[in-house]
Amino acid sequence: MIVVMRRGAEKAEIEHMAQRVESLGLKAHVIVGEERTVIAAIGDKREEMKESLESGPGVAAVMPILAPYKVASREVKPESTQVVVRDLKVGAGSLGVIAGPCSVESEEQLITTARAVKKAGATALRGGAFKPRTSPYAFQGMKEEGLKLLAAAREETGLAIVTEVMSPEDVELVAKYADVLQIGARNMQNYRLLEACGRVDRAVLLKRGPAATIDELLLAAEYVLNEGNQNVMLCERGIRTFEAHTRFTLPLATVPYLHQKTHLPVVIDPSHGTGHAYLVEDMCAASVAVGADGLIIEVHPKPEEAMSDGYQSLNLEQFAHTMAKCRKVADALGIEM
Ligand code: PEP
Ligand code: MN
């Protein structure tokens, strides 16, 4: 249910109603909007609860939330959420660009990339230190050494750091160095990991599982939101279909669809979404055109020498070219980039 407070309801009334929701055994999420405040009451509801809440001070209406996801839904929060981390601004009219290598490999590789992507206009640096690899024999990442290199790159460039966390036990360590915790496609339904990321003061980039429906993605986001962390970005990174021309199939209709259903910003990953560097630029431009709130792009100074995902990584020049093209589309549509 959502308890919709009257326009101009007082702080004391809102606090009172949040407590009343909790006293009914439900979890209260207070969402302060520009127009009015609503309290999402999450949990096992009974019919008599609605009546009891309706009579509360400052309450305009009590309504059921129709979507299976609750805190993520636009029914609860009509205004778009903007996630802001340092200079990275994602959502509500701002397009944030996250760029960098698939894996952190060395100081030289990372800092060269960081300087170049910053110069071209990115506001966040990506780079995996803990890598989820299909084969246990493939490079698994530099772990804490990689996190330290990311933090050093932030120190020099000011770029926000986005990096993956693979297990609940690593959340504290990764959060010590990162600004944004990436939950990878393979872990989208790792519920203990989602909850652990919901309890730390770091933004979350939640990637769609290659075989997950959009409702499943939103319900996964709900696990993070329910723990109190509202800084969640959803990421479409392609799904598995019968089509083999691309590594995954990148459905861009996800963007306007999610904008209808949720207030959370939507980031597109054209690198994993296509699996081919030569397709990335056009899919970036298309993502901007369709209203994406962010892009996450794999960039490497020497893609042919990359320890992971080199075939889908842009080199520094290609990245600058891609940014220039995206900027033209963003300008035409009045999007801040
Ligand atoms: C990555 O970003 O390098 C990655 C492993 O992504 P995904 O979880 O989408 O496969
Ligand atoms: Mn990758």
Q: What's residue 111's pLDDT?
A: 98
Check residue 48 and give its pLDDT.
85
State the pLDDT at residue 36.
Answer: 86
Indicate if ligand 1 lies below 6 Å from the C-beta of 237. Answer: yes
Strand boundaries in 43-179, DSSP class E: 59-63, 83-85, 88-90, 96-100, 124-126, 160-164
Does any ligand 1 atom lie closer than 6 A to the CB of residue 184?
Answer: yes
Question: pLDDT category, 150, cuts 50, 70, 90?
Answer: very high
Closest Cα to atom 1 of ligand 1: 102
| Span of 9-13, 30-34, 114-118 with lowest mean pLDDT | 30-34
139 Cα to the center of ligand 2, angstroms: 12
pLDDT at 312: 98
- In this prediction, residue 34 has a pLDDT band, given cuts at 50, 70 and 90, of confident
The atom number, within ligand 1, closest to the CA of 126 reads 2
| CA 84 to ligand 2 center in whole angstroms | 24
- Cβ burial 238-265 (10 Å sphere, 16+ → b, else e): bbeeeeeebbbbbbbebbeebbebbbbb
pLDDT, residue 135, reads 95
For the cut 90, the answer to whether the pLDDT of residue 260 exceeds it is yes
Exposed, middle or buried, 43 (CB in 10 Å: 0-12/13-18/19+)? middle
Q: Closest Cα to atom 6, ligand 1: which residue?
A: 184
pLDDT tens figures, 158-198? 999 999 999 999 999 999 999 999 999 999 999 999 999 99
Q: Which residues surround ligand 2, an ion (CB under 5 A)?
A: 102, 309
Atom of ligand 1 minimally distant from the CA of 207: 9
User: Looking at residue 66, what is its pLDDT?
Assistant: 87
d(CA 163, CA 104): 10
94: confidence class by pLDDT, cuts 50, 70, 90: very high
Q: How far is the CA of 81 from the centre of ligand 1 (A)?
A: 24
* Least confident stretch, 69-78, 155-164, 259-268: 69-78
Nearest to 156 by CA among 125, 179, 197, 185: 125
In the predicted model, what is the mean pLDDT of residues 144-162? Answer: 98
For the cut 90, the answer to whether the pLDDT of residue 44 exceeds it is: no
| Residue percentage of the chain with pLDDT more than 90 | 93
Mean pLDDT computed over every residue of the chain: 96
From the CA of 296, give the closest atom in ligand 1.
2
Which two three-digit tokens encode residue 122?
A: 């990115």
Calculate mean pLDDT across residues 216-241: 97
Query: Whose atoms come closest to the Cα of 300: which ligand?
Result: 2
Using the predicted structure, report yes or no on whether residue 13 has a pLDDT greater than 80.
Answer: yes
Q: Which two tokens stand for residue 243?
A: 């089509």
Q: Is 68 a residue whose pLDDT tops 80?
A: yes
On the question of pLDDT at 119 being above 80, the answer is yes
d(CA 217, CA 82): 19
The residue whose C-alpha atom lies closest to atom 9 belonging to ligand 1 is: 185
Question: From the CB of 240, is ligand 1 less than 6 Å away?
Answer: no
Q: Is 102 in the pocket of ligand 1 (CB under 6 A)?
A: yes
- In the chain the domains, ranked by start, together with CATH numbers, are 2-63 (3.30.70.1140), 83-333 (3.20.20.70)
Q: Is the CB of 25 under 6 A from ligand 1?
A: no
